[in-house]
């Protein structure tokens, strides 16, 4: 497979065929993100992608899902994306679902009918980064779009029939904006009503603008207790019709898996216990991006 540079995929796509159809991210300006510093955004040529699909047809017959890398394959023009999905369906007929990252920017470029066509062609799940529901935080981090725009596009993705998985980042508001970030994010997530939420804890990446701000003393990262208090506040403000809240990424201090709405009270009690006894937390040396 022609995998160029760092390959990023969601944890739930660990067993998927990783088909790299773009390089990097179509936005690439988020201050906290170091995921694609090794490449510039581009859509890969059809011949290279076709060779990778042919490779998967020979060697990946046990894998029943495909994930389209890199950071926003939904940005690919509609006709070309439909042709790619047709190739996957023809050459990999055992594949039951295609997943991709999507942004408010790329979803906004598709009409409702185009999103429904992509669902019918095989895309079953989209992963979006909300990161924060606080517009001041989004602006400070260089995120494309405000919270209302991201929420609207997430709702459009759900309406088109996609399973919606949304990522948020604890700590992104710094110490001063911590609780405001948590509350606004809980409200925005409630408005989006995703099927699954992945809550990560911010880890500063050298070489990113946010890391430079941190080194200059312009950004103060919440400590473990601050991160936990933030997750608790976010969860307390969160109302989903039905969904899964995951804070079990390696970056988090306290692994959580919460089925909502039924499991929220038990999760809040677990967070309160951890805040009272910090020995239960994952040690700093064990945290990972």
Residue 289: the pLDDT is: 62
Whether residue 68 lies inside any domain: the answer is: yes
- The full DSSP string for 163-219 is EEEEEEEETTTTTTTHHHHHHHHHHHHHHH--SEEEEEE----TTSHHHHHHHTTS-
Whether residue 213 lies inside any domain: the answer is: yes
Which residue has tokens 């940005």?
75
Is 90 exceeded by the pLDDT of residue 278?
A: no
Q: CB–CB of 8/35 below 8 Å?
A: yes
Whether residue 133 lies inside any domain: the answer is: yes
Is 80 exceeded by the pLDDT of residue 287?
A: no
Q: Mean pLDDT, the chain, as a whole number?
A: 95
Whether residue 3 lies inside any domain: the answer is: no
Q: Report the sign of the C-alpha dihedral through residues 272, 274, 278, 283, in that order.
A: negative
Is 70 exceeded by the pLDDT of residue 285?
A: no
- Please write the tens of the pLDDT for every residue from 127-171: 999 999 999 999 999 999 999 999 999 999 999 999 999 999 999
Of the pLDDT bands very low, low, confident and very high (cuts 50, 70, 90), residue 281 is confident
Q: CB–CB of 100/75 below 8 Å?
A: no
- Please write the tens of the pLDDT for every residue from 64-73: 999 999 989 9
Residue 280: the pLDDT is: 73
Backbone angles phi, psi at 65, to 5 degrees: -135, 150
Residue 132: give its domain's CATH number.
3.20.20.70
Residue 50: the pLDDT is: 98
Whether residue 6 lies inside any domain: the answer is: no
Does this model's pTM top 0.85? My answer is: yes
Whether residue 5 lies inside any domain: the answer is: no
In the chain, how many domains are there? 1
Is 70 exceeded by the pLDDT of residue 20?
A: yes
* Dist CA 69 CA 21 (whole Å): 6
């Amino acid at each position: 497979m022609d995998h160029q540079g760092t390959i990023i995929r969601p944890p739930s796509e660990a067993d998927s065929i990783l088909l790299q159809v773009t390089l990097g991210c179509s936005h690439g300006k988020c201050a906290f993100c170091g995921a694609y510093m090794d490449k510039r955004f581009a859509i890969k040529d059809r011949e290279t992608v076709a060779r990778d699909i042919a490779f998967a047809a020979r060697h990946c017959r046990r894998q029943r899902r495909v994930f389209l890398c890199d950071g926003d394959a939904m940005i690919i023009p509609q006709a070309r994306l439909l042709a790619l999905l047709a190739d996957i369906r023809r050459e990999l007929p055992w594949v039951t679902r295609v997943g991709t990252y999507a942004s408010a920017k790329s979803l906004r470029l598709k009409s409702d009918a185009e999103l429904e066509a992509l669902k019918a062609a095989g895309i079953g799940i989209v992963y979006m980064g909300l990161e924060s529901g606080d517009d001041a935080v989004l602006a400070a981090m260089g995120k494309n779009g405000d919270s209302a725009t991201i929420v609207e596009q997430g709702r459009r993705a759900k309406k088109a029939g996609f399973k919606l998985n949304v990522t948020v980042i604890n700590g992104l508001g710094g110490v001063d904006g911590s609780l405001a970030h948590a509350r606004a994010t809980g409200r925005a997530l409630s408005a989006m009503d995703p099927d699954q939420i992945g809550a990560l804890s911010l880890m500063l990446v050298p070489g990113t603008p946010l890391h430079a701000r941190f080194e200059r003393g312009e950004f103060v990262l919440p400590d473990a207790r601050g991160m936990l208090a933030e997750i608790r506040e976010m969860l307390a403000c969160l109302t989903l019709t039905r969904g899964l809240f995951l804070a079990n990424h390696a970056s988090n201090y306290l692994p959580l898996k919460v089925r909502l709405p039924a499991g929220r009270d038990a999760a809040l009690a677990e967070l309160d216990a951890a805040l009272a006894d910090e020995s239960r937390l994952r040690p700093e040396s064990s945290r990972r991006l």
